[in-house]
Amino acid sequence: MLGRMEAAARMWHVGMTSSLHIRVLTLIVDAICPPPRRAALCDRAVGLCVQPELLNEAMAGVAGGNDFQWCFSQVKGAIDEDVAEADIISTVEFNYSGELLATGDKGGRVVIFQHEQESKNRPHLRGEYNVYSTFQSHEPEFDYLKSLEIEEKINKIRWLPQQNAAHFLLSTNDKTIKLWKISERDKRAEGYNLKDEDGRLRDPFRISSLRVPVLMPMDLMVEASPRRIFANAHTYHINSISVNSDHETYLSADDLRINLWHLEITDRSFNIVDIKPANMEELTEVITAAECHPNQCNVFVYSSSKGTIRLCDMRAAALCDRHSKFFEEPEDPSSRSFFSEIISSISDVKFSHSGRYMMTRDYLSVKVWDLNMENRPVETYQVHEYLRSKLCSLYENDCIFDKFECCWNGSDSAIMTGSYNNFFRMFDRNTRRDITLEASRESSKPRATLKPRKVSTGGKRKKDEISVDSLDFNKKILHTAWHPKDNVIAVAATNNLYIFQDKIN
């Protein structure tokens, strides 16, 4: 995508005919703009074509991140300071259309929000997300063999592409994956021949005539039912699930193994990666995340605690212990410390929507990798470099083990990840600009624009800046999600879910 845009930009020169200008502009806009806004932007860009230097301005304004403004839309969750552990959100995920937004929490519950259509009389607002369905996905279990309790915390939710009126998602805790069907019921059959309205069988002798049930409308009811339970395949804790592009299989990864499942078959799974050493004493590396390629159903990647990513091709062998590609950035010897390995541990890996790039999150940075280049990332973004000098303290209080996630926007032009003090960061890949925003109740007035935040590192702290030592390390944003098409983001701050949108001018 980046390449296409650059190529198109290079084609531009003043002497071109205006029709060619328009075609080039369209190419550029196509590359960087999310679909719903392309038409409007194309028009705007075309209007600028008489002054080509304004083209940059047009481009900059589009990509998710900076030149438009993020504003508060909604917040879900309790306000009071006392946070129940079970209410802490542990995963956030939009579905493929962006119509539904699912969250999982430590108490094993899944809450799904649905996007309401924009109202006709207030078109400048996007619609809101309201609760669509709530259900208990996982319960705490007890492993009698090991005398251990299995936590009900939902580690990941992944939606399946929609194939009929119902919605399907996979949710997983440490040990068990479940396929849930969420369906609507808005009609009820009334007038059964053999049953009363309350379901009791009628006395056959009383039945004198035949009547056929009639479907009557009823209040919308959303039902969630578990359709498959995929259990007993993981000895260690599941950290990732990923639906394959064939829409038939999915993979699940724990610390040492990755299994491939068929969505219809629950009693068998194929082990495709196993890094458990024969002698556990030799274990120095664990799997931290895994994901299927968005287009190629034979390709997947998994990241490790040593900061490496392995890309595997399932066509090569049944057991993909030998990688096809190995991504690792050589260590910078000048920044070596006792904690170098810990902070290099990758906490999340995500393919771009295009499938050309992947992004990894380690403790201090986000890296974008080109799948064609294994020896170093193409882009590196520092999330909170000011923490590098505090690693010792962060090691002591265990914050250094926090696992932050990251996400792409729909057009792959921007990336987002969380930080501490309820800050989250967005990076625009085109303009290389970044912004720090905060998810807090203070900035939660309807349609209030979010003010960029800054952390001061030096001695002098400017007004509105916050010093590193004042950061609240208990307020961490680990889970964020970006709408697949629009500039709408969902940010999980402990037990609250914040939804922000861009301001449509």
Partner 1 sequence: MKGQKRKFPPEDVEVSDRSSLTWESQRQFVFSVSLSKYQRGQELPEPSLRRSVLIANTLRQISLEASGAASVEASPGSSPSELPAEEEESVFTGVPSARHQPAEAVINGHSALSTGSMVSSGYSSNCVTTAISSILSALDSTIDGSPQAAPRTPLRSLENLSRSPEGSAAWVKQGVRGYGGGSWEPQEECRVRDSNVEVMWSSYLSDLTVEDLFQDIDTSLLERDMGVLGLRGSGGGFPAGEDLLRYLPPFSPASHPFSLSLNQNLKCLPSFSSFSPMSSSSSSSSSLSLPPSSLFSGHNHAREGLDLEHLMEILVES
Comparison of 344 and 430: residue with beta carbon closer to partner 1 = 344
Q: Quick one: residue 381, left, alpha or beta (phi over 0 = left, psi -120 to 50 = alpha)?
A: beta
Amino acid identity, position 255: D
By C-beta, is 119 or 457 nearer to partner 1? 457
Please report, for residues 413, 476, 479, the alpha-carbon distance to residue 419 in angstroms, rounded to integers and kept in the order given: 20, 6, 10
| From 97-105, 367-375, 385-393, 437-445, span contacting partner 1 (CB under 8 A) | 385-393
Q: Whole-number minimum distance, CB 468 to partner 1, in Å?
A: 10
- Binding segment for partner 1 (CB under 8 A), chosen from 204-212, 224-232, 376-384, 471-479, is 471-479
Residue 282 lies near partner 1 (rule: CB under 8 A): yes
Using the minimum distance from each CB to partner 1, give the nearer residue, 305 or 365: 305
Checking 501-504 for CB contacts under 8 A at 24+ apart, the result is: 501/70, 501/71, 501/73, 501/126, 502/64, 502/68, 502/69, 502/70, 502/71, 503/68, 503/69, 503/70, 503/71, 503/447, 503/449, 504/124, 504/126
Q: For residues 414 and 61, what is the distance between their CA atoms, to the nearest angstrom?
A: 12
Nearest CB to partner 1, comparing residues 267 and 396: 396
Contact set for partner 1, span 259-278 (CB under 8 A):
278
Contact set for partner 1, span 393-452 (CB under 8 A): 393-399, 401
Q: Between 133 and 347, whose beta carbon lies closer to partner 1?
A: 347
In the complex, least distance from residue 430 CB atom to partner 1, rounded to whole angstroms: 34
Distance between CA atoms of 104 and 108, rounded to whole angstroms?
7
Q: What is the DSSP letter of 73?
A: E
> What's the sign of the alpha-carbon dihedral 301, 327, 366, 38?
negative
CB-wise, 313 or 341, nearer to partner 1?
Answer: 341
Widest pairwise Cα distance in the chain: 92
The residue within the footprint of partner 1, chosen from 60, 166, 286, 297 (CB under 8 A), is 286
378: contact with partner 1 by CB under 8 A: no
Nearer to partner 1, 31 or 391 (CB): 391
Asked if 284 interacts with partner 1 (CB under 8 A), we say yes
Between 69 and 365, CB nearer to partner 1: 365
Q: Which is nearer to partner 1, 279 or 375 (CB)?
A: 279
* H or E segment to which residue 41 belongs: helix 35-47
283 counts as binding partner 1 under rule CB under 8 A: yes
Q: Are 218 and 187 within 8 A, CB to CB?
A: yes
Three-class SS of residue 340? helix
Let me know if 325 is exposed, middle or buried by CB neighbors in 10 A (0-12, 13-18, 19+).
middle
Shortest gap between Cβ of 284 and partner 1 (angstroms)?
A: 6
CA angle at residue 91 from 488 to 385, to 5 degrees?
75
Smallest gap from residue 224 Cβ to partner 1 (A): 29
CB 251 within 8 A of CB 233: no
Amino acid identity for residue 243 in this structure: V
**Toward partner 1, which CB reaches closer, 70 or 363?**
363
Least Å distance, CB 306 to partner 1, is 8
Q: Where are the alpha helices (DSSP H) in 220-335?
A: none
> From the list 227, 473, 475, 494, which residue makes contact with partner 1 (rule: CB under 8 A)?
473
Taking the C-alpha atoms of residue 476 and residue 501, their distance in angstroms, rounded to an integer, is 21
Sign of the torsion angle spanned by Cα atoms 16, 19, 22, 24: negative
Among residues 192, 236, 270, 386, the one that binds partner 1 under rule CB under 8 A: 236
Q: Which of 177, 182, 256, 258 binds partner 1 (CB under 8 A)?
A: 256
> Which segment (43-51, 58-66, 85-93, 464-472) binds partner 1 by CB under 8 A?
464-472
Sign of CA dihedral 366, 370, 376, 378: negative
Is-contact 27 4, C-beta < 8 A? Answer: yes
Instruction: By CB under 8 A, name the one of 103, 172, 249, 288 that touches partner 1.
Output: 288
Positions 132 through 161 that interact with partner 1 (CB under 8 A): 145-149
* Helix or strand (DSSP H, E) at 222: strand 214-230
Instruction: Pick between residue 71 and residue 286 the one whose CB is nearest to partner 1.
Output: 286
Q: What is the rounded distance in angstroms from the CA atom of residue 368 to the CA atom of residue 412? A: 11
Restricting to residues 318-377, name those near partner 1 by CB under 8 A.
337-339, 341-342, 345
The answer to whether 132 and 169 are in contact (CB under 8 A) is no
How many chain residues bind partner 1 (CB under 8 A)?
Answer: 43
**Among positions 23, 325, 356, 390, the unique one binding partner 1 when judged by CB under 8 A:** 390
- Least separation in angstroms between CB 401 and partner 1: 6
Q: How wide is the angle at C-alpha 61 spanned by C-alphas 60 and 67, nearest 5°?
A: 100
- Interface with partner 1 by CB under 8 A: which residues? 145-149, 236-237, 255-256, 278-286, 288, 305, 337-339, 341-342, 345, 389-399, 401, 469-473
